[in-house]
Chain A
Amino acid sequence: NAGVTQTPKFRILKIGQSMTLQCAQDMNHNYMYWYRQDPGMGLKLIYYSVGAGITDKGEVPNGYNVSRSTTEDFPLRLELAAPSQTSVYFCASSYRGAYEQYFGPGTRLTVT
């Protein structure tokens, strides 16, 4: 099993550009999550999903969108990138809920 995979590993965006961060898991997990982690800070939940077709907002959803058309994939869309979105983005998945999350390796995004 590959576990949770994220692409790309690094990306530099210009202000106003858009991009999609990809996340996939091969563990047949129902729950998937997107977090961002700013330097010296803990993780903040952006969006999460409890199953295909179901998504909900987390703590910091503004400026982001998600979709969950399959169990395996949970892409995160950034529209009109802003410098405040410079961060490391982690995707996670779990079978039974938030307390058993497996994290992906992260995507480091810089917006300039």
Chain B
Amino acid sequence: EDKVVQSPLSLVVHEGDTVTLNCSYEVTNFRSLLWYKQEKKAPTFLFMLTSSGIEKKSGRLSSILDKKELFSILNITATQTGDSAVYLCAVLQGGSEKLVFGKGTKLTVNP
């Protein structure tokens, strides 16, 4: 069975800390891995990773994929209270329009 596992499930940090969120996967016919941020409502897209070892970066957020070890990490540096959210990892399978989601990591950033 295809699965996406995120860790930790929840994390509480102080503003200014750096955090690393993990996503491992076991899916058939892997095509891409996506990260989303979900605040109170709908998920919003952060990154899509298709190739190993190439870091994607957007401001204080960055992510990298390891296709050999089947995992990805999402780093957030100098965290702010506005980073508090659930971060979802999802894997897209080749030849399909189906995304398989992990349960998410709930990040809380305290002032």
Contacts and interface: CB of A to CB of B under 8 A. Distances in A.
B4 interface: yes
B43 A103 contact: yes
A48 B32 CA distance: 18
B92 A44 contact: no
Nearest to A56: B97
A56 to B, nearest CB: 8
Taking residues whose C-beta sits less than 8 angstroms from the other chain, chain A's interface range is: 20 to 34
Contacts of A42: 4, 88, 90, 101-104
B68 interface: no
Contacts of A109: none
A80 interface: no
A80 B44 CA distance: 32
Interface stretch (A13-21, A70-78, A93-101): A93-101
A99 B104 contact: no
B97 A43 contact: no
Contacts of A48: 97-98
Majority SS of interface residues in chain A?
mixed
Interface residues on B, range: 20 to 34
Contact of A45 (B43, B99, B104): B99
Tell me if B's interface is mostly helix, strand, loop or mixed.
strand
A60 to B, nearest CB: 11
A43 B88 contact: yes
A24 interface: no
Nearest to A88: B41
Interface of A: 31, 33, 40-45, 48, 50, 56, 58-59, 90, 97-101, 103-106
30 contacts: A33-B97, A41-B104, A42-B90, A42-B102, A42-B103, A43-B43, A43-B88, A43-B99, A43-B101, A44-B101, A45-B98, A58-B98, A59-B98, A59-B100, A90-B42, A90-B43, A98-B92, A98-B96, A98-B97, A98-B99, A99-B32, A99-B92, A100-B45, A101-B45, A103-B42, A103-B43, A104-B42, A105-B41, A105-B42, A106-B42
Given A99-B32, A106-B42, 12 more contacts: A31-B97, A33-B97, A40-B103, A42-B103, A43-B43, A43-B88, A43-B101, A56-B97, A58-B98, A59-B98, A98-B97, A101-B45
